[in-house]
Amino acid sequence: MAKRIQENRSPGISDAAVKAATGKSWKEWFAILDRAGAAKMPHRDIAKLLHENDCGDWWSQMVAVGYERVRGLRVKHQKPDGYSISRSKTISAPVGRLFKAWKDKKAREQWLGVATLTIRKSTVNRSIRITWGDGPTDVIVMFYPKGTGKAQVTVEHNKLTSAKEGERMKRFWGAALTRLEKVLAS
């Protein structure tokens, strides 16, 4: 017998959006996945099964994650390799200045402090990929111009060990981006 969708867990995407994009409702996808024994499958096998049932690539991932959340197989921010959080902020500074505040060690220390990190790769005014000081986690920073003298920065911190660590780092990055905004405003 198919499991009921648990009332206290949301798949994260509306039923109408899923049906419009995939041709099936959450109830229909859950019935297919439950019959196939997806509750005991790893994520990649669930996504493959969805794809084999005419669910597109991106939507296969989204439906798999929604299913895992509702069935209690995954919690918010959880990925196969740990937890992932993100923060973003639009700042009154040109994208080049914002990028430099991350890339240049002295500029970065003004708002981030003396954080131990290794920049693995960067693309000027677009992105920076960082290995965080703790070793196994990584940070992806993206930059988006938002008109004259404004830019958005997004920070994604991956491979965190727990939901609690994810919440801690979400607060950390929120405060760091606020400090960055103040430094760039001065």
Whether the CB-CB separation of 29 and 18 falls below 8 Å is answered with yes
**126-132 average pLDDT score:** 95
Residues in the chain: 186
Q: Which two tokens stand for residue 175?
A: 């405060």
Q: Which residue has the higher pLDDT, 56 or 114?
A: 56
pLDDT per residue as tens digits for the range 35-55 = 999 999 888 899 999 999 999
Cα separations in angstroms, 186 against 38, 161, 180: 54, 36, 10
Q: Is the per-residue pLDDT at 4 higher than 50?
A: no
As a whole number, mean pLDDT of residues 75-103 equals 87
pLDDT in tens, 138-179: 999 999 999 889 999 999 999 988 888 889 999 999 999 999
User: Where along the chain do its domains lie?
Assistant: 15-70, 79-185
Task: Note the pLDDT of residue 1.
Answer: 32
* DSSP-derived 3-state class of residue 138: strand
State the pLDDT confidence band at 3, using cuts at 50, 70 and 90.
very low
Site of tokens 């000081």: 133
- Cα 148 to chain centroid distance, Å, stands at 27
Q: What is the pTM (predicted TM-score) of this model?
A: 0.66
Domain 79-185: give its CATH superfamily.
Answer: START domain (3.30.530.20)
